[in-house]
Structures are given as C-alpha cells and as structure tokens.
Amino acid sequence: MATAETIREAKSSQPFRPFMLRLIDGTEYEVAHPDFISVPPTGRVREVLFYLVRDHASEHERRWIDLGLISEVIIPPLPVAPPRPGPDPNGPS
C-alpha cells in the first residue's frame, strides 16, 4: 500500500518524472505534473487530491482518492544517457 510520504517523494523528485498511481481495483492515474496531485502537509493523511486533466488544459476533474485504495506508486527509472564520445584511442584517422 502507498504512503503519503511515497507520493510526496515522487511529486518532489528532481527532475520531476511523471508517475502512476495504481489503485487496488487496477485503475491507474498518471500524475503528469507535480501540480496535478496534492497531499495534505500534516496530520494523518487519509486522502490525496488528484486533478484529472482532460484533452484541453482548461478542463479537469478533481478526485479525492483514499490513500488506502492506492496499492502502488509507480515511478519510472531515469533514462540512461548514451555514452559521450571521447577521443579516439587509435588517434586521428
């Protein structure tokens, strides 16, 4: 089961990477931007506020999601940077 701290960490990661919330029924929500989710700052957190953005940025739904229903916070790994070309060990051609 997910914790409020896990969601806070995913939200504040630098650089930010979109992450998924998977609910116990299999539903998944993509958190595409850190402003699209809010976790209460103190106390015993029971719910998080998720903004489901539609095709147009001006259209969105607000959903309160019970923390106990979030089974996983899925954070993709950072992409691996391709190796930088260095000097040719055989010298210039």
Q: Which helix (H) or strand (E) holds 71?
A: strand 70-74
Residue 63 covered by a domain:
yes
At 69, is the secondary structure helix, strand, or coil?
helix
Q: What is the pLDDT along the chain (93 residues), one digit of tens a residue?
A: 789 999 999 999 998 999 999 999 999 999 999 999 999 987 788 999 999 887 766 778 899 999 999 999 999 887 777 777 767 667 665
Query: CA-CA distance, 33 to 10, in Å (whole number)?
Result: 11
85 domain-assigned: no
Q: What is the CATH number of the domain that holds 51?
A: 2.30.30
39 backbone dihedrals φ, ψ, rounded to 5°: -115, 125
Residue 11 lies in a domain: yes
